[in-house]
Every structure is written in structure tokens, then in C-alpha cells.
Structure 1
Amino acid sequence: MALQFTHLHFPLLFLIITICLCISSTFAVKPQNFYPFFKVDADGIIHRYQHIKLVPPSNNPKTGVQSKDVTILPQKDVSARLYLPKISRKNQKFPLLFYIHGGGFCTQSAFSSMYDSYLHKLTCEANVIIVSIDYRLAPEHLIPACYDDSWAVMNWAAQGTEPWLKIHANFSRVFLAGDSAGANIAHNLMVRASEESHFVASLVGMALIDPYFGNGKPDSLWTYLCPKSNGINDSRFNPAAHRSMLSELKCSKILVCTAGKDFLRDRAWTYYETLKKSGWKGELGIKEIEGEGHVFHLFNQTSEKAKVLMKSIVHFLA
């Protein structure tokens, strides 16, 4: 009887096993490793290599710089850290700078100790009010989430209802800046603002520091984080392949910064050279720091060369 029972149920057992295997293969993913950012196991679990130290906002009695955090899209956990320079007179106005942090679209934060320290210095030296954008990170939130979040923060700020911005921001002098992937996002925000006439703030210029752009060759990180990409010459990733788009940027000046040992150096120069030949009518500059690597100014903020780069950015914003 036992043999007959097993025989009768073998087709059903086989079917169940087959279905389970199909389900497992459907939900399994190919392991990926994008060191030094993250890796993805076959079961889809994401492991990050970097532990980012977050710090709270603060008021610095020595510099007079204040900072505070504001939630813009609570349902998406999109927020920003605002920096206000020392106020010397009632209702004093300052240029407004939107800053977008780097980190390969997938790490770092507007609230990290590294960016908080750097932007505190920039606020103090450039005498600007800064909105440091904290966007959702990939791969949990694939591109274009970072672009959409940053655009939402810009439009929120442009409404001028936030007290610091309402009282102290000069909306006729607005700048964009970012480093690495943040520079990529800053460029794409400028493109979108140039195309959409309803953006009310007056964008004067942007500073792109060690920008993470494509070079017409396959890039595994970009492809993974932006699965709906248009390919290696996607305008969001390789703007140099779209000269006519660059010619339409509606700002009056652009500064490109790079470093002699930066692995993205050639891409920064390609962007600069293409923009220069595009027919764009603004003031264009490039600053290269010799002997330094990618975003060195963030990792060693007190070095002499970091101070040189800071002076160039402060001069640009003046």
C-alpha cells in the first residue's frame, strides 16, 4: 500500500517542486558588487560598504552660521539642511545656493559629518544661504528618484514660504552646485529649469565639482542604477553627446572643477570643451587642482589645495 500511495502522489509532488523552483528563480537576482558603494546578494539583500556618520544641525557662535533641517516630502523622506550665514543687519539678503551631495547616487547624505563641515565653511566664506538637498538613494530608489526629489526641493524653496528663505534669500541670485554624482544632478536640474518656464527663481550659475558624467562607454554602475536608461549616451549621464541641449542652458556662468589625479578628470574636460563649442553665451571657467584625486577637498578640508578650491568657488558665487 505504501508503494501505491507514493506512486499515486509523485506527479503532484513533482509539480509542487517544479513550481517552487520556478518561483525561486523568478525572485532570485544576479549577485552584484559595486565596491566601494554596495553589493547585492542573490536574494536581493543590499549590503553597503560605507557607514555614514550623521550629525545634527547646529548654531556656531564663532562663525555665526546657523543650520536647521526641514522635511519637504514626508511620504518620500525627502528633506534638506539649511545653512544661514551670520546676519549683520535686519532682513539681510544673501544669494541662494542649492547644493547636492555626491556619492555615486547611492551613498552619503546632506546630514553627514563630512558635508555638514564643508557646507558650514562654504556658507561662512561665501556669505550665501545654502539648501543642502537630501534625496532618496539608489539602489533602493532607482534613478530618476534623485532628480525628481531634488527638483521637488528646488520648487519648494522657490515658493519662499520657509521663514529663513522668505526673509534672507535673494531669489534673483540663485546658484546650483554639487560634487561627483551631485554635480550630475545639479546639471540635470539646470537643464530642467531651463526647459520649464514656470520655475520662478533666477538661476545665475552652477559650479560642478568633479562631475560624474559618462564618456560614451559602458558604465556598469549607471546601467544598474538607471535600468530605464537610454544607453551610454543618455543625455542625463553623457550631456557632452547633446551639444544643442547644452547651448540652451539658461544661466549666465558655469564653473567646472576637477583634479589632476581624478579618475573622472577627462569627463569634466569633455563637458567643458563641448559646452564652450556649443554656442552657449555665458561665462565659462574651469579650475584644475594638480596632484589631487576625486573630491579630495571633502576628505582633507583643511589642506592648502582644498583652500585654493574653496576660494575659486567663493569667487564664483560672489
Structure 2
Amino acid sequence: MKCSVLNTMSTETASSNLTVNPLEHLQVTLNPDGTLNRDRRIIPVTSAAPNPTSPTSPVLSKDLPINPSHNTWARIFLPHRSPSFSEEKLPLIVYYHGGGFILCSAASTLFHEFCVTLARELSAVVVSVEYRLAPEHRLPAAYDDAVEALHWVKTARDEWLAGHADLSACYLMGTSSGGNLAFHAGLRASASHGDLKPLKIRGLILHHPYFGGTQRTPSELRLANDLSLPLAVNDFMWELSLPLGATRDHAYCNPTVDGGSKLSDWVDKMRSLGWRLLVTGCDGDPLIDRQVALAQILQEKGAIVVRDFREGGHHGIEVTEPDKSKPLVQTLKAFLSTT
């Protein structure tokens, strides 16, 4: 698939062409104190299902607290293929949900069902992390929670994790802003990987990852009024989630700034740890140029990168349209089998 990259970016703002009101699109209201009112009816939630409804229930799930003072927790998904669980240890996927850092939850039905698919189709234990949202908790709060979850996993006294998860085969995965979280959690984890033992990360999976920058890319301009992720909504979510006063070229938002000069040491660390990176997306996503550019820069710096970019689609398509997830599942199976 041919995609433009960031060296062809335009300085055009496209502001005069934006027709989407982000508050109406997201159905939220911004309070004078900077907090956000979210209509809980807009994004349905699903309760965990810790007990099999039948001997052939494909996936069980349950919620466990991580840090009660931050109201963070994890939803664990466990494949259940027979009345008695297999003794075989399964790969572990630590998953971070999307929502532009300001919306959604590990309990949101879309992400719950996506994690069910991951656990069932990949025969993996999935730990979906509930992290703090902006603007009440601006970045790096979510990154702190993402890494804290890894330390929680390594010490959690839970029978599902202890009995069925292979802590030596851990992958960090996220969708959209969750892909951004997985990336930055990986940055931090690589610097202190020894502190995570016996948890051993083998790779990162960035699914339609959410990155930005001060200059518009051709794909952002081409899809400025995209139905899934309009440019005005993208701007609004970054405005609410970045530290106050930060520009869109802050490292949290734009790791490719200055040609990704700050990533060289991390790539060396990734390579020494044997990590591999999967970046997956589609050209119907306004963020595709940024995703392609990040994968390209990391690969040029020596990282082992698998690039999976498809034609058509839209941002987060495999989450919002589960019947379109089969190609992604096949890509994930191949990636897990070779790391």
C-alpha cells in the first residue's frame, strides 16, 4: 500500500475546512473547571463474566483492582475450552483500550468484545487495563498507570495469571490512544526491564496507534472530515490530554519529531532485549501517514518492525466492525509465533 510520509507534510491548518463540532461528535460537555461530562449512555459497557455459562464458554473474564487510590483495575480474559482448564501456559497480552485518552474503559463493550476475540483466537491471556483519563488526569498519568499495571501483573496473586499466563511471553498491545500507551509503556519498561522480572516483554503491538504533530499530514488533510476520526475531534482530544502548555510536537504526541532523534537509544535497547514491533493500520485512517512514518523511522534506526498497512477501512475498524477482524487476527498469530 502506498502512503505518504512526514517529509511531505503541509503547514496548512485546514481549520477553515472543518465542519465537525467535536463536542457534538463525542457527545460530551466541557465544564468551566476543565473537567469533562461524559454521557455514559453513549458508550455501552459489559460486565465481566468470571463463571462459564456452559462447559464450552469460549472466554471467561473478571475484574481485579490495581491501584484503588487511582481507581485503576484490570479485566482479565481467559480462554476456556473445556470443563477443566489446560495446564499449558498461554502468551500474555497486556492491552490498553482506545478513546483518545478522554473516553472509554476496559469495560466498554467494544473493547471488551475485542479482547474476547484476542483471547479466543490467539489462545492468550489478555489483561485489559483501566487507566486514568484526561482532562481530569492529563498525560503522563495514563503512562504511569500503564507501567504500574505491568508491575501489578508480575506480582498479582491471581489464579488465572499464576496458573495460565506465561509471564515470559508478554506483549504490550493497544488500539488508537492505547497504541500510543503501549508505545510509551514500552519506552519506560525497556529502561527498567530488570525490575519487571519474571515478566518478560517480547514485543509491542501498535494497532491503529494514535500520534500527532503540529503540522498536518496529507492523510489528515485528505480525511479532515472523516466520520470515525475527524480532524477537529483529533485536535480536541490532544488539547485535553497533553500537559498544559505542551504543543503537538511534544514527545507524548509526536515521537517522530526531528526525525525521531530521541528514539535511537530506545531502538538499541529494544534490539538488545530482542523485542519486535508490529505497527498495523489502514489508509482510510487519517493517522496512517504518522503510523507509516513511525514504523519507517524505527526500522531505519535498526528496530525489528513488522508493518501491516491495508487499503480502505477506517480508524479502529477491527474494534468497531468485528467481522472485519480476521486479517488482523492472522497477522497477530504470525507475529506471536515468531517472537
- TM exceeding 0.5: yes
Instruction: Give, in whole Å, the separation in 1 of the partners of 2:53 and 2:77.
Output: 11
234, 237, 244: which is aligned to 2:253? 237
CA contact (8 A) 2:77 2:125 kept: yes
Instruction: Give, in whole Å, the separation in 2 of the partners of 1:101 and 1:127.
Output: 19
1:90–1:296 CA distance, 2 compared to 1 (3 A): closer
CA contact (8 A) 1:223 1:229 kept: no
Deviation at 1:310, TM superposition (A): 1.9
Greater relative contact order structure (CA < 8 Å, 6+ sep): 2
Q: CA-to-partner distance for each residue in 1:33-72, whole Å, 9 max, x for gaps?
A: 5553444144646333672211111236444311111111
Give the alignment's TM-score, normalised by structure 1: 0.82
1:141–1:243 CA distance, 2 compared to 1 (3 A): closer
Matched, 1:47 2:66: no
Q: CA-to-partner distance for each residue in 1:171-196, whole Å, 9 max, x for gaps?
A: 11000101110000000011001111
Q: CA-to-partner distance for each residue in 1:258-295, whole Å, 9 max, x for gaps?
A: 11110000010011000011123x3x111112110100
106, 109, 123: which is aligned to 1:110? 106
Instruction: Name the counterpart of 1:24.
Output: none
Give the alignment's TM-score, normalised by structure 2: 0.77
DSSP-derived class of the 1:239 partner:
coil
Matched, 1:227 2:243: yes
Matched, 1:65 2:86: no
Instruction: Name the counterpart of 1:207.
Output: 205
Instruction: Give, in whole Å, the separation in 2 of the partners of 1:105 and 1:155.
Output: 21
DSSP-derived class of the 2:37 partner:
strand
> Which region of structure 1 is more displaced relative to structure 2, 232-241 or 306-315?
232-241
DSSP-derived class of the 1:79 partner:
strand
CA RMSD of aligned residues (A): 2.3
Matched, 1:97 2:93: yes
CA contact (8 A) 2:102 2:240 kept: no
1:42–1:122 CA distance, 2 compared to 1 (3 A): same
CA contact (8 A) 2:57 2:81 kept: no
CA contact (8 A) 1:95 1:173 kept: yes
DSSP-derived class of the 1:198 partner:
helix
Instruction: Name the counterpart of 1:36.
Output: 25
268, 274, 281: which is aligned to 2:291? 268
Moved over 6 A (4+): none
CA contact (8 A) 2:122 2:329 kept: no
Unpaired stretches in structure 2, ≥5 consecutive residues: 1-20, 217-234
Q: Map of 1:139-218 to 2, 5 A cutoff?
A: 139-196=135-192, 197-200=194-197, 201-217=199-215
1:43–1:234 CA distance, 2 compared to 1 (3 A): closer
Instruction: Name the counterpart of 1:292.
Output: 313
Q: CA-to-partner distance for each residue in 1:89-122, whole Å, 9 max, x for gaps?
A: 6532111110000010011111111111111111
